Structure 1
């Protein structure tokens, strides 16, 4: 059933490609880097993932909004995406536990979107040409005016974005059976990562992205966790500096996604922007230590330089992507520090990768 309040919407890509469809969410204009997610479900988790800050997301699944929204499925307190592009947007929802429609959710958050376009053709275009900036508008139809707006959207390369999504104040979560103290550097952390640490007996203290190492160390943690987040890892200079200082303490350290890239940068290994990135729930990764493969959830547009890793004397590759052989995990040979590019807390396997949290806790236990 079509919503009578929709209006014409326009999607303009950086290379001049134009798509015309119908509006969804708020009537307005928004720009960001255009990328696609191959997941077939979990749209609310995607929209609230801080790693998507500054991006317009194309969903490759046909129907979006059909099961509504509910609070327990958020990964942060806000919708993080700059816009949504989809084929069929449902204003109706059928799940009994849903607390409202996705349309209402977007309107309240001020999110602009476009639907009723050929997303298969659009994804093929982006897959071939690479991720690029775009603008969605349901209020401006003049292409020249849209192009002016698009020109003002910054490139993701060289962009520091953790400052936009990190916690503004320190907070703590402590289970009754707390055994370990883990200091978390929040670069845009997902709630379920914290849940996985707390459920394993970790007292967690979450620090803002720009907290000094000295401030975190005052808490006397047993180990450190470096979170996921948006933007270019090479531009996250404060975090790279902090991780170098953490490594000098020789305490256990675990990084996920951006945290993985920051660990590499802290060891002098460069990262670079990918042609498309990995975003979805179905990416195969091989654990080179055990020989086992995992179905993983991923969301990143930058990757660690594999060539530089080959000649590094103190870093070992632990995981690789079976689609393109990019680096998915590393560990240090002389320190209790390791990281993965993917999201073990998202459980698409469903539990293929949660062992990584267990390994971190085992290292914490061993080091006490």
Structure 2
């Protein structure tokens, strides 16, 4: 149970009010209210930059059972967090617990308090999730007041610029170099690429075509990231130029959407998005199902241009979850193949990228 109990309210822009109890920071929060059905992995979810600007509701009834571990780095890469800081604007739970495990450094409540992030407990998060499913994603606030104050328009804010690195970072390894363009990456993506033996140069979101190519990469990874992809016209232009060089490109989540826009496809906001660690995705050419991790509120819609092949679809709603563009050596995944947290079914995407990179290197000899 929380050490400090204060009445608070989750107030949605449609006027819905959910009374609860504060925990973590006693500051107020505003943001787009979204939900995840994940039963574990709250440390990874809260530190995922794709949640920047959002208030996250976790539908699992107990949150905090195993505390928060000390950060662990290997080869300069975080292995148990997705970024250095909490990225959500606020947290909504049914019940906060102060449980701990052998590797716990602090409680979830203490972590939120340390990083000035408010939480609210005592909310029927499953009822909240149903409300969002029926009415669509909407803005909300965590506050001591029942009044809804006007908040910033989530879709008009460039959150990528807030979470991307500002200067290149190098992760040396034995193998050839992969350029990773950071739109708000999860460090699990770096860990997967590094585990395959590649050196990595991590570049800011606004890196130009010339800057990327100056590192002579044998492959390019376009990462996940937060916010509205339609704001990223400059980044989309750079992606289109990079694709013309036929260097293997892997687009993950937001990276998948940037490739789609660079190919002339349409991106639209979903009613309530996909956020879970157990989403079924079908690999179309094999007919096999993969259980995958998702965190996206936008998706690719509309006609498929010549040369673009849909490789994966959601088993929930047939959303396009992966593409290949053979003439440009491109592979994409709307889901998260690094799956922190989640199953390892999606790692096959990294294996396909690894094969494409090896083929590209062989062709250069």
- Is this a same-fold pair by TM over 0.5? yes
**Counterpart residue number, 1:308:** 303
Structure 1, 158-167 or 316-325: larger mean CA deviation: 158-167
SS at match of 1:353: helix
Q: Is the 8 A contact 1:69 1:105 kept in 2?
A: yes
**Counterpart residue number, 2:321:** 328
For residues 70-117 of structure 1, what are the alpha-carbon distances to aligned partners after superposition, in whole Å with 9 as ceiling and x for unaligned? 124210011000100100001x22312101111111011110111012
**Counterpart residue number, 2:241:** 245
Q: Could you tell me which of 342, 346, 351 is aligned with 1:353?
A: 346
1:122-141 counterparts in 2 under 5 A? 122-137=128-143, 140-141=144-145
1:246 Cα deviation (Å)?
A: 0.5
SS at match of 1:230: coil
Q: Could you tell me which of 68, 78, 92 is aligned with 1:85?
A: 92
CA distance in 1, matches of 2:287, 2:207: 38
1:3 Cα deviation (Å)?
A: 2.8
CA distance in 1, matches of 2:194, 2:204: 19
CA distance in 1, matches of 2:340, 2:299: 21
SS at match of 1:313: coil
1:211 Cα deviation (Å)?
A: 1.4
For residues 149-178 of structure 1, what are the alpha-carbon distances to aligned partners after superposition, in whole Å with 9 as ceiling and x for unaligned? xx132133x442110110122101122x31
CA distance in 2, matches of 1:350, 1:20: 35
1:270 Cα deviation (Å)?
A: 1.3
Runs (4+) off by over 3 Å? none
**Counterpart residue number, 2:160:** 162
Q: Is the 8 A contact 1:295 1:348 kept in 2?
A: no
CA distance in 1, matches of 2:267, 2:234: 16
For residues 242-263 of structure 1, what are the alpha-carbon distances to aligned partners after superposition, in whole Å with 9 as ceiling and x for unaligned? 1111011111000100000000
**Counterpart residue number, 1:96:** 102
**Counterpart residue number, 1:184:** 180
1:330 Cα deviation (Å)?
A: 0.6
Structure 1-normalised TM-score? 0.93
Q: Could you tell me which of 71, 82, 93 is aligned with 1:75?
A: 82
Q: Could you tell me which of 106, 116, 121 is aligned with 2:122?
A: 116
CA distance in 1, matches of 2:342, 2:57: 23
**Counterpart residue number, 1:33:** 32
**Counterpart residue number, 2:76:** none
Structure 2: gaps (5+ residues): 73-79
Q: Is the 8 A contact 2:181 2:203 kept in 1?
A: yes
Q: Is the 8 A contact 2:23 2:120 kept in 1?
A: yes
CA RMSD, Structure 1 to Structure 2 (Å):
1.2
1:196 Cα deviation (Å)?
A: 0.4
CA distance in 1, matches of 2:27, 2:139: 17
SS at match of 1:344: coil
For residues 172-212 of structure 1, what are the alpha-carbon distances to aligned partners after superposition, in whole Å with 9 as ceiling and x for unaligned? 1122x31x211111000111100100110111100011111
Q: Is the 8 A contact 1:252 1:336 kept in 2?
A: yes
Matched, 1:106 2:112: yes
Q: Is the 8 A contact 2:188 2:340 kept in 1?
A: no
Structure 1: gaps (5+ residues): none
**Counterpart residue number, 2:75:** none
**Counterpart residue number, 1:341:** 334
**Counterpart residue number, 1:367:** 360
CA distance in 2, matches of 1:120, 1:292: 30
SS at match of 1:219: coil
SS at match of 1:354: helix
Q: Is the 8 A contact 2:34 2:272 kept in 1?
A: yes
Q: Is the 8 A contact 2:185 2:224 kept in 1?
A: yes
Q: Is the 8 A contact 1:257 1:342 kept in 2?
A: yes
1:236 Cα deviation (Å)?
A: 1.3
Structure 2-normalised TM-score? 0.94
